[in-house]
């Protein structure tokens, strides 16, 4: 039985620090998993290792049974893995619409075309629909750098979502987003993703995790110290001590 | 009107602009003297080259070595006539494209891996090697004297000595308009946008699943081909090719024109090139000791106060044009 | 004398010259992260100023043995004047912009200064060869050398040592290293970063002018001497690693010896040597011998 994503003895050192310590994690297709832990516990490192941004010192990453360790981000994107970033990675000089259109063009394999236009009717329509799903359609013509922080985050997620990935990894999707918008964004996202896309998101906000995640992985010092349903784990005093600093 | 329909209607009318350019420049010979026609011909030839420089600038890359391809195209004409006995201009253009394209396909394999200053310097180094080659092998290349080009037939038609300038002009104009159109298609294509995305955020492009190196490689090869075409057309117009075409100051001149015109539109290099050729001509006649000074000051002012180049001056008009089109469709 | 010895001597002399003309460029890049195309102009300004001052000095009838000191003074003067002018009025405005724009700004300054030199000193060749002729010639193992040529390694060593001393042994040097590492933190700690940058640029300008000043006696000065120097300096800096003075030493030695070997063994390769060395090094080590790789953080 192949897991959607699986890490086997995954280890990464930064000098003396074990950012990832023999991680054996598996996630099934369609799961919505939240990753939590104090700063420096290895959450982002784990994401970076899975998405090919870092090479592990030991161990393997498997995607649907296939060994994808150390493959470059580009290959992983083609395989159906997409990632959004803690600091929104956008094309700041392009308009919001152009950002999305480019993502769509690359997804449909036409990213290298140099004769047909980027803005063809179908693509514009599809791009517009995606922007509407993320409530960004009013910003269509604005350059990405003009967007406020929350909208930048949304666009960043929209761009990875435009790839129609089977596995979507999100690094702190609600950080920098106002409290008012946080739940609206997550409602939208989870509604689209649930059951269809395997989603893993790193979060600091416990409310978000509690509300949306089916399953929670607690990281600490490069290891996973707890794995289960969020409500169950929050009741555990050991977990609470690590996450919240209190009993 | 629906938001979606509004989106689809406001595509910038570049095709009209290109057509307009064709008509304007087809009629221009009626109004300007022959020496002005010569300057315009050279300006158009170099504008074709600068289109390639602009492609690379979109990707955040500056090349201080495109004189290499300029020289390759020019000397392809020289060798084509002298060694291969070719007498037809179109064939020579084809030869230039093959030579420039072949060279850029080869060098691009190496150079597409570099960015920033290293990209600029490596290009420069290769162009200086070619310069040295052109000087050294003087038996074939004519050394510092270069090769003189006797006018070939253009599309089968042998121009008379009096109509030579005019025919060269229209030949160059024709190829120039085709290049403009090609650049327009490229600019609005996914690859064109990828280049601009690469300049902003290479990592994201890779995460989206596109190959940054491939995009840069293609842009580089296209720029080499365009530069070679520019070299061929310049060789026809000037009638002489020299090793200095590959010297770094020639390459720097092309970058200068690109910045002068701006990178916002395929028409911008044309504007920059024409302004450059005419200003340089006058500045030199006015005071041979200070024309570099004037150019330097112009470049300085553009960098400090008009970073989008001369073309950014047309922005307010483009905006009005778009609004006007929207109103018409209400 | 064996060919090997001749190659070694020629190589070291040429390497010294290369070092003198490129150390300023790499130093400025190291501190300011700007590749200064106007470096060629600073070199030329140093050459012309040095020549002028020497000629003026000799008119006073004083001892010609002090002309070397005059050249030094001229270079320092030119470096301070031109350097502070360029940095404070022009360079400062583009620190926040992309490196291509900064490069083009320095290129525009180069164009301007080329003509400024023509306007001040004219276009006829300028001679100030007294310092060169004064030292006469010497015979080494059957080969005749101009003694002046052996001054160059000395000056190169002296400049290299001075830079090393400034960077590693003075408080100013430590501040420069901090600024290179992290500008913002320096500002928040009260360091007057803009002033440090100006000083650093002036040092680089003095070095460039020094290269020009001590080359002047060896040749007839004509407009455009800066043009070729720029490519050579770029190549040495790229080979050695941008910003590394040690790299400039090693790079100059490599190119100097390679070119000397080429001249004596494969004369056809003379013009190519420097670019071939550069291409080879950059092929296998894109950041140069002692250069740093920049990694993008997300």
Reported as a pLDDT band with limits 50, 70 and 90, residue B224 is very high
What's the pLDDT score for residue C79? Answer: 94
Task: Specify whether the CB–CB gap between A34 and A213 falls below 8 A.
Answer: yes
Classify residue C18: in a domain, yes or no.
yes
Which of C140, C181, C199, C178 lies closest to C8 in space, CA to CA?
Answer: C140
Query: What separation in angstroms does the CA of A243 have from each of A25, A26, B32?
Result: 20, 22, 79
Q: Which residue has the higher pLDDT, C109 or C31?
A: C109
**ipTM, 2 decimals?**
0.86
**Rg (alpha carbons) of chain A, rounded to whole number:** 18
Mean pLDDT along residues A53-60: 87
B313: its two tokens = 């001056």
Which of C37, C221, C209 lies closest to C120 in space, CA to CA?
Answer: C221
| First and final C-alpha spacing in chain C | 60
- Under CATH, which number does the domain A5-87+168-244 receive? 3.40.50.300
Which of C227, C256, C259 lies closest to C240 in space, CA to CA?
Answer: C256
Residue range(s) occupied by CATH 3.40.50.300 in chain A: 5-87+168-244
Mean pLDDT along residues B116-125: 86
Classify residue C119: in a domain, yes or no.
yes
How far apart CA C145 and CA B18 sit, in angstroms, is 64
How far apart CA B174 and CA B58 sit, in angstroms, is 25
Reported as a pLDDT band with limits 50, 70 and 90, residue C298 is very low
What's the pLDDT score for residue C215? Answer: 92
Classify residue C292: in a domain, yes or no.
no
B251: its two tokens = 């390459």
Domain count, chain C: 1
Q: Which domains does chain B have, with CATH numbers?
A: 3-328 (1.10.3470)
How far apart CA C10 and CA C14 sit, in angstroms, is 6
Contacts of C116 in chain B (CB under 8 A): 293
Classify residue C105: in a domain, yes or no.
yes
Task: List the CATH number of the domain containing C36.
Answer: 1.10.3470
pLDDT at C182 over 80: no
**Residue of chain C with shortest Cα separation from A53:** C298
- Residue A164, Cβ neighbours under 10 Å: how many? 14
CB-based burial of residue C219 (10 Å sphere; 0-12 exposed, 13-18 middle, 19+ buried)?
middle
Q: Is the sign of the CA dihedral B104, B106, B112, B118 positive or negative?
A: negative
Q: Cβ neighbours of residue B328 under 8 Å, at least 6 residues apart?
A: none
- Residue A245, Cβ neighbours under 10 Å: how many? 8
pLDDT at B198 over 90: yes
pLDDT at B121 over 90: no
What's the pLDDT score for residue B326? Answer: 59
Mean pLDDT along residues B74-92: 90
**Residue of chain A with shortest Cα separation from C296:** A53
Classify residue C295: in a domain, yes or no.
no
Classify residue C291: in a domain, yes or no.
no
How far apart CA C79 and CA A46 sit, in angstroms, is 53
Nearest-Cα distance to chain C for B270, in Å, is: 20
Mean pLDDT along residues B147-175: 86
**What tens digit of pLDDT does each residue of C34-57 get?**
889 999 999 999 999 999 999 888
**Residue of chain C with shortest Cα separation from B137:** C268
How far apart CA C269 and CA B120 sit, in angstroms, is 23
Q: Cβ neighbours of residue C155 under 8 Å, at least 6 residues apart?
A: C16, C20, C210, C214
Mean pLDDT along residues C165-192: 82
- Lowest model confidence (mean pLDDT) among A80-89, B296-305, C95-104: C95-104
Average per-residue pLDDT for chain C = 87
Domain that includes residue C187, residue range: 3-284
Classify residue C290: in a domain, yes or no.
no
Mean pLDDT along residues C81-99: 89
The answer to whether residue A148 neighbours chain B at the CB level (below 8 Å) is no
The answer to whether residue C184 neighbours chain B at the CB level (below 8 Å) is no
pLDDT at B165 over 90: no
How far apart CA B310 and CA B295 sit, in angstroms, is 14
Mean pLDDT along residues B254-260: 92
Parallel, antiparallel, or unpaired for β C143-146 and C137-140?
Answer: antiparallel
pLDDT at B8 over 60: no
Place of tokens 């990178």: B263
pTM score of the predicted model? 0.88
Contacts of A106 in chain B (CB under 8 A): 190, 194, 208-210
Contact between chains at B129 and C112 (C-beta distance less than 8 A): no
How far apart CA C114 and CA C246 sit, in angstroms, is 30
Classify residue C157: in a domain, yes or no.
yes
The answer to whether residue C298 neighbours chain A at the CB level (below 8 Å) is yes
The answer to whether residue B199 neighbours chain A at the CB level (below 8 Å) is yes
Share of chain B above pLDDT 90, in %: 47
| H or E element, residue A26 | strand A17-27
What's the pLDDT score for residue C205? Answer: 95
DSSP H helical ranges for C170-292: 171-181, 183-188, 193-215, 225-240, 245-265, 273-284
How far apart CA C143 and CA C264 sit, in angstroms, is 14
What's the pLDDT score for residue A184? Answer: 81
Task: Specify whether the CB–CB gap between B189 and A120 falls below 8 A.
Answer: no
> Of C35, C115, C227, which is closest to B249 when you measure between CB atoms?
C227
Task: Specify whether the CB–CB gap between B97 and B225 falls below 8 A.
Answer: yes
């Amino acid at each position: 039985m192949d897991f959607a994503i699986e890490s086997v003895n995954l280890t990464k050192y930064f000098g003396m620090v074990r950012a990832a310590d023999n991680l054996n994690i598996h996630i099934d297709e369609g799961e919505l998993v939240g990753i939590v832990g104090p700063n420096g516990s290895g959450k982002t490192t784990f994401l970076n290792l899975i998405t090919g941004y870092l090479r592990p010192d030991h161990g393997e990453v498997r995607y649907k049974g296939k060994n994808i360790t150390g493959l470059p981000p580009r290959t992983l994107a083609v395989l159906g893995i997409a990632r959004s970033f803690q600091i929104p990675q956008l094309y700041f000089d392009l308009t919001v619409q152009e950002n999305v259109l480019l993502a769509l063009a690359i997804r449909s394999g036409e990213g290298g075309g140099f004769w047909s236009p980027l803005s063809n009717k179908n693509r514009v329509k599809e791009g517009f629909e995606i922007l509407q799903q993320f409530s960004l359609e009013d910003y269509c013509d604005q350059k990405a750098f003009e967007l406020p922080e929350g909208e930048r985050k949304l666009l960043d997620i929209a761009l990875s979502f435009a790839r129609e990935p089977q596995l979507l990894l999100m690094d702190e999707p609600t950080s920098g987003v106002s409290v008012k918008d946080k739940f609206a964004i997550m409602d939208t996202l989870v509604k689209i993703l649930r059951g269809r896309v395997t989603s893993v998101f790193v979060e600091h906000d416990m409310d978000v995790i509690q509300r949306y995640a089916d399953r929670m992985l607690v990281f600490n010092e490069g290891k996973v110290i707890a794995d289960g349903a969020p409500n169950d784990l929050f009741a555990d005093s050991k977990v609470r001590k690590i996450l919240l600093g209190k009993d | 009107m629906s938001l979606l329909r509004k989106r689809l209607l406001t595509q910038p009318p570049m095709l009209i602009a290109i057509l307009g350019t064709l008509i304007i420049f087809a009629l221009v010979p009626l109004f300007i003297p022959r020496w002005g026609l010569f300057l315009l011909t050279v300006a158009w030839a170099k504008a074709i080259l600068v289109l390639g420089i602009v492609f690379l600038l979109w990707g955040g890359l500056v090349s201080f070595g495109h004189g290499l391809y300029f020289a390759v195209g020019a000397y392809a004409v020289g060798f084509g006539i002298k060694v291969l006995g070719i007498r037809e201009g179109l064939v020579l253009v084809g030869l230039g494209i093959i030579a420039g394209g072949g060279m850029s396909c080869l060098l691009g394999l190496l150079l597409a891996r570099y960015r920033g200053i290293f990209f600029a310097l490596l290009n420069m180094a290769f162009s200086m090697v070619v310069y040295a080659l052109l000087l050294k092998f003087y038996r074939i290349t004519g050394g510092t004297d270069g090769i003189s080009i006797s006018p070939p037939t253009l599309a089968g038609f042998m121009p008379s000595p009096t109509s030579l300038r005019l025919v060269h002009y229209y030949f160059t104009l024709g190829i120039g308009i085709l290049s403009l159109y090609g650049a327009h298609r490229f600019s609005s294509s996914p690859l064109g946008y990828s280049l601009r995305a690469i300049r902003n955020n290479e990592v994201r492009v890779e995460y989206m699943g596109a190959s940054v190196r491939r995009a840069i490689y293609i842009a580089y090869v296209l720029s080499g081909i365009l530069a070679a075409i520019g070299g061929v057309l310049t060789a026809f117009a000037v009638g002489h090719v020299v090793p200095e075409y590959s010297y770094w100051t020639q390459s720097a001149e092309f970058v200068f024109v690109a910045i002068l015109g701006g990178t916002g539109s395929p028409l911008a290099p044309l504007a920059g090139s024409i302004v450059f050729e005419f200003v340089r001509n006058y500045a030199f006649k006015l005071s041979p000791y200070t024309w570099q000074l004037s150019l330097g000051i112009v470049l300085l002012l553009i960098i400090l106060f008009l970073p989008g180049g001369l073309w950014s001056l047309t922005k307010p008009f483009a905006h009005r044009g778009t609004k006007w089109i929207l109103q018409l469709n209400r | 004398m064996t060919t090997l010895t001749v190659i070694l001597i020629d190589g070291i002399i040429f390497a010294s010259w290369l070092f003198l003309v490129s150390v300023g460029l790499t130093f400025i890049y190291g501190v300011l992260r700007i590749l200064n195309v106007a470096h060629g102009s600073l070199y030329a300004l140093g050459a012309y100023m040095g020549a002028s001052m020497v000629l003026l000095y000799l008119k006073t009838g004083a001892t010609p043995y002090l002309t070397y000191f005059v050249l030094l003074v001229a270079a320092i003067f030119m470096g301070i004047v031109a350097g502070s002018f360029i940095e404070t009025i022009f360079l400062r405005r583009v620190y926040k912009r992309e490196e291509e724009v900064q490069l083009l700004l320095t290129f525009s300054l180069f164009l301007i200064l080329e003509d400024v030199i023509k306007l001040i000193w004219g276009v006829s060749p300028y001679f100030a060869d007294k310092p060169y002729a004064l030292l006469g010639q010497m015979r080494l193992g059957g080969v005749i050398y101009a003694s002046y040529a052996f001054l160059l390694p000395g000056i190169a060593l002296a400049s290299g040592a001075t830079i090393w001393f400034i960077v590693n042994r003075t408080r100013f040097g430590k501040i420069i290293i901090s600024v290179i590492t992290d500008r913002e933190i320096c500002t928040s700690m009260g360091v007057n970063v803009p002033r440090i940058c100006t000083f650093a640029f002036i040092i680089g300008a003095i070095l460039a002018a020094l290269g020009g000043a001590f080359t002047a006696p060896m040749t007839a000065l004509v407009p455009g001497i800066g043009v070729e120097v720029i490519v050579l300096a770029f190549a040495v800096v790229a080979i050695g690693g941008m910003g590394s003075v040690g790299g400039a030493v090693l790079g100059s030695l490599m190119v100097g010896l390679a070119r000397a070997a080429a001249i004596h063994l494969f004369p056809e390769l003379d013009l190519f040597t420097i670019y071939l060395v550069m291409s080879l090094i950059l092929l296998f080590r894109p950041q140069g011998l002692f250069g740093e790789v920049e990694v993008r953080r997300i």
